[in-house]
Amino acid sequence: MIFSVATSSVLYPKLHHHHLSDFNRNRASTSVKMINSENHKNPRKCECFDLYDQLVPYKKAWSWQKSIVNEKKALIDRNQDCPDTVILLQHPPVYTMGTGSSEDYLNFDVKDAPFDVYRTERGGEVTYHGPGQLVMYPIINLRNHKMDLHWYLRKLEEVVIRVLYSAFSIKASRLDGLTGVWVGNQKVAAIGIRVSKWMTYHGLALNVTTDLTPFDSIVPCGIRNRGVGSVKGLIKDGEDVNRDMSYTKLDDLKLLDVAHESLLKEFSEVFQLQIEKQTVFKLES
């Protein structure tokens, strides 16, 4: 069954999250000011809800995004300034479709789907989200950046390309006519966005340690002649990767830590934003 969801009226809902691990892990940094202030003078602030090591149900994250967008649009209508926002998280297994997605790209009956399927208002075809995949939802006002959707998509791709190279020495690229980030014939990051009154939401998904098996049940992004890859898989295969680097010995949790820290850093640099981490309280469901 394909689901849709109503918009929540709460700006920052108190979510109940499922921890990926019950023990503390060392992280590369706890700094909230990721941007290099020497390169960018007076950067705009971006509030960051960093839930990267938690599984947040897709329906809750979707409603959360839309409520933030509505609050920001209300501020703009009142000629009030509002900071940009970025959310980082992972999802439990789920398939999502864009506004005009075709069910022809589903290799199963939607009434008997292996996971929940949500049709959303983003662009693009069907994709899969699951543990080990870092999802970034930027909710930014393009009036303060550049009012150009193609520019925005290329910047999201640039963030991922920089992450893969700076954190893992993986040489990724764009492909003409296709949105996303590729290493050879494998798509490692999918991008699907929605923009309302120049306010962005939805975003990008980077396969870090993702189990890629669920992608076999769909035609990812509607592209039949290419595959899907992950950082972990690329490192294991050794192609397009510097095998002498220490990250080749990292376990799954550490790979996620490294990718997460780099994702925030490169996002702040590409969009010239000062990242300021916020707190989200939990609410038992």
Active site residues: 221
Tokens of 43: 């950067």
Give 102's strand partners.
Answer: none
Distances from the Cα of 214 to the Cαs of 28, 40, 108, 210, 219, in angstroms? Answer: 30, 41, 11, 10, 10
Tokens of 11: 């700006």
Tokens of 261: 């820290």
Is residue 89 within 8 Å of residue 56, measured between CB atoms? yes
Residue with tokens 């967008």: 69
Tokens of 235: 């490192």
Distances from the Cα of 172 to the Cαs of 184, 240, 262, 280, 283, in angstroms? Answer: 8, 8, 15, 33, 39
CB neighbours (10 Å) of residue 141? 21
Tokens of 262: 């780099």
> What is the C-alpha separation between 88 and 282, in angstroms, rounded?
16
DSSP 141: B
